[in-house]
Amino acid sequence: MPIDPSSMTRWRHRLGDAGAEQMLRATIEAGIAMRVIGPAELKRINVDTTVQTKAIRFPTDARLYQRMRERLVKAARAEGLTIKQSYKHVGRRLLMQSSRYAHARQMKRARACTRKLKTQLGRVVREIERQVETPSGKLRKLLQTAHRIHAQQRHDKNKIYSVHEPEVECIAKGKAGKQYEFGNKVSVAVSSRGGWFVGAKSFTGNPYDGHTLAEQMMQVENLIGDTVSEMHVDMGYRGHGYDGPATVHVDKRRRGRTPRALWRWMKRRAAVEPSIGHLKSEHRLERNRLKGVEGNAINAILSAAAMNFHKLLGAFWRIFLFWLSNAWNRMFTLQRPQARNTQLQYA
């Protein structure tokens, strides 16, 4: 490999979300310097939200109990504690049986295996707490996560869906193919003309779309200044709390009395959807592998910066090929009269 993978991890930790925003700003400034982005393109933007899915498996109770117990036993033994019974082989066998019973639609037997796994997790938690009154930082966090996983029920809110990523949220965006997505919400701001990303902000939890607009516009103003005069959003932003200088146009089902010029820009709002699709399919927004809340923020901003950089490379090659064709034409036109003169001399 060209570099060690851990060096990229350390570089991202040093960079942080503020440094990632500087990279996004650099792509916008490079586009303006290359005259690919015009000042008029930054006056109108489209804002929308999407889900940045996390690299976790689909959460099931049986697997959560088994994984949480394994992590607790490993952390406790690393600190010198004695675990009388770790349920390593018994738990693995119960997990396989639970999956097989569920596949065979024998749900009573599957639930019985899940209850046994939950009982084993509770026993390990109580054994660790009996030996240590004030656990260390890592073990204390694992115990807190274990208590939440052991106590949560099916219809509870703020549930834990992953042991190594407890901040993951279950978000429903109303998609037919994906009813639920596990990750965090990301707001993106794209120029209405040109499709350049001028903002990408990650949010913890599952906030209402309209409540994310003010923070998103703060990031846009930090990146490109007060150049935005109009914003176009969908109906999910009704009742937003933004009161800045830019005008917010919320989409509606019917045109009504909307002026024709404004309605043309409102129809351009849907152009943000394919831009989000490119972020997910080509720039790693679909499967976020960076850890923690900071990793969510860095991954979202770097995905937008990569999209802008990809567009800049395309513009550079177009400019280079245009210059090359012009140079070739000039050279060809300079050589043609010389060829005619040589032909006349031979004649």
Q: What are 312-345's pLDDT values in tens digits? A: 999 999 888 888 888 888 887 876 655 555 554 5
Asked if residue 173 has pLDDT above 90, the reply is no
Predicted pLDDT of residue 336: 61
Q: How many CB atoms are located within 10 Å of the residue 206 CB? A: 14
Start-end of CATH 3.30.420 domains in the chain: 5-56+169-311
Q: What is the overall mean pLDDT for the chain?
A: 91
Instruction: Please report, rounded to a whole number, the percentage of residues in the chain having pLDDT higher than 70.
Output: 96
pLDDT in tens, 62-86: 999 999 999 999 999 999 999 999 9
pLDDT at 118: 97
- Apex 56 CA angle, 111 and 142, nearest 5: 75
The 3-class secondary structure across 187-235, one letter per residue, is EEEEECCCCCEEEEEEECCCCCHHHHHHHHHHHHHHHHCCCCCEEEECH
- Read off the pLDDT band of 177 (50, 70, 90): confident
Could you confirm whether domain 5-56+169-311 is CATH 3.30.420? yes
Mean pLDDT of 132-147: 92
The span from the CA of 103 to the CA of 251, in Å, is 45
Cα angle, residue 273 at apex, residues 270 and 276 outer, rounded to 5°: 150
Check if the beta carbon of residue 90 is closer than 8 Å to that of residue 123: no
